Amino acid sequence: MQNIIECPLNFDSLPVEWEKLPLPELYRGSLQAAVAILPSFFNGADAINDEEVVDFTQNGGWQKINNLLPLLQRKGNWFYLILEHWIEPLEKFADHLKVRKPEAAAVISVWAREWENLYQEYGAAIAAANLI
């Protein structure tokens, strides 16, 4: 989460291609890995510091991920496979967090639904492309 929050990008003005991000290749790789593995991090929800999640939420971490997803999507089908494993851990974590940090849990739930829709749309597009 810290890699995403501290990334020196202007997330509101990203290039069309991942490779054109104005970051060194190593940093791009690190950022891609952070985005890819973040939901699996939530599988160990009991060990997560609630304040770190609140800080990530308040600093626009979920929006930053959302802004990066179209770039990652253009990189290929790995994105679809990764996204498939995002939804459930995020939903479970949000449910787990509801009692302690309801505002952060609500934000995470909204993004989980948003990305579930993206996953469904992308899956339908892949299926349609394979049928043609």
Print pLDDT tens along the chain (132 aa). Answer: 888 888 888 888 899 888 898 989 888 888 888 888 887 777 765 567 889 899 999 999 999 998 988 888 777 666 777 777 788 888 988 998 999 999 999 999 999 999 899 888 887 877 787 754
Residue 102 is assigned to a structural domain of this protein = yes
Residue 49 is assigned to a structural domain of this protein = yes
CA distance 93 to 77: 25
Residue 9 is assigned to a structural domain of this protein = no
| Domains identified in the chain, total number | 1
Q: Are 42 and 92 in contact (CB under 8 A)?
A: yes
Q: Which residue range is the domain that position 81 belongs to?
A: 19-131
Residue 3 is assigned to a structural domain of this protein = no
What are 95-118's pLDDT values in tens digits? 989 999 999 999 999 999 998 998
Note the pLDDT of residue 77.
61
Sequence length of the chain is 132
Residue 105 is assigned to a structural domain of this protein = yes
Residue 2 is assigned to a structural domain of this protein = no
